[in-house]
Structure 1
Amino acid sequence: MTPVIADFVYQRVPVADGVSLNVAVGGVGSPVVLLHGFPQTHLMWRHVAADLAADHTVICPDLRGYGASDKPAEADSATYSKRTMGADIVALARVLGHERFALAGHDRGALVAIRAALDHPEAITHLASLDVLPTLDMWDVMHGTTAAVGFHLYLMAQPPGLPERMIAASSDAFFGHFLDIWVNDPDAIPADIRAAYLAACRDAVDSIVADYRASAGIDVEHDRADRAAGNRLRMPVTVLQQDWGSALGFDAAALWRAWAPDLRHTGVTCGHFMAEEAPSEVAGALRDLLTR
Structure 2
Amino acid sequence: MTPFVPGFTHHRVPVADGVALNVAVGGSGSPLVLLHGFPQTHLMWRHVAADLAADHTVICPDLRGYGASDKPAAAGPATYAKRTMAADVVALARALGHDRFALAGHDRGALVAFRAGLDHPDAVSRLACLDVLPTLDMWDVLRGADAAVAFHLYLMAQPPGLPEELIGAAPDAFFGHFLDVWNPSPDAVPPAVRAAYLDACRAAVPSIVADYRASATVDIDHDRADRAAGRRLRMPVAVLQQDWGAALGYDARALWQAWAPDLTHTTVGCGHFMAEEDPELVATALRTLVAS
Unaligned runs of 5+ in 1: none
Partner of 2:179: 179
Residues 144-159 of structure 1: pairs in structure 2 closer than 5 A: 144-159=144-159
Partner of 1:132: 132
Partner of 2:95: 95
Does residue 258 of structure 2 align to residue 258 of structure 1? yes
Residues 55-66 of structure 1: pairs in structure 2 closer than 5 A: 55-66=55-66
Unaligned runs of 5+ in 2: none
Matched residue SS, 1:33: strand
Matched residue SS, 2:138: helix
Q: CA deviation at 1:114?
A: 0.1
- For the residues of structure 2 that align with 1:153 and 1:2, how far apart are their CA atoms? 30
- For the residues of structure 1 that align with 2:253 and 2:99, how far apart are their CA atoms? 30
Tell me the amino acid that sits aligned with residue 8 of structure 1.
Answer: F
Q: TM-score, normalising length from structure 2?
A: 1.00
- For the residues of structure 2 that align with 1:199 and 1:246, how far apart are their CA atoms? 35
- For the residues of structure 1 that align with 2:21 and 2:290, how far apart are their CA atoms? 25
- For the residues of structure 1 that align with 2:77 and 2:9, how far apart are their CA atoms? 33
Tell me the amino acid that sits aligned with residue 165 of structure 1.
Answer: E
Matched residue SS, 2:80: coil
Tell me the amino acid that sits aligned with residue 110 of structure 1.
Answer: A
Q: CA deviation at 1:248?
A: 0.7
Identity %: 77
Residues 17-39 of structure 1: CA deviation (Å, up to 9, x unaligned): 00000000000000000000000
- For the residues of structure 2 that align with 1:82 and 1:207, how far apart are their CA atoms? 13
Partner of 1:27: 27
Partner of 2:199: 199
Paired positions, count: 292
- For the residues of structure 2 that align with 1:183 and 1:269, how far apart are their CA atoms? 12
Does residue 50 of structure 2 align to residue 50 of structure 1? yes
Tell me the amino acid that sits aligned with residue 48 of structure 2.
Answer: V
Q: TM-score, normalising length from structure 1?
A: 1.00
Does residue 229 of structure 2 align to residue 229 of structure 1? yes
Q: CA deviation at 1:184?
A: 1.3
Tell me the amino acid that sits aligned with residue 23 of structure 1.
Answer: V
Partner of 1:290: 290
RMSD over equivalenced CA pairs, Å: 0.4
Matched residue SS, 1:13: strand
- For the residues of structure 2 that align with 1:132 and 1:29, how far apart are their CA atoms? 28
Residues 31-56 of structure 1: CA deviation (Å, up to 9, x unaligned): 00000000000000000000000010
Tell me the amino acid that sits aligned with residue 197 of structure 1.
Answer: Y
Partner of 1:189: 189
Q: CA deviation at 1:2?
A: 2.7
Matched residue SS, 2:25: strand
Q: CA deviation at 1:6?
A: 1.3
Tell me the amino acid that sits aligned with residue 135 of structure 1.
Answer: T
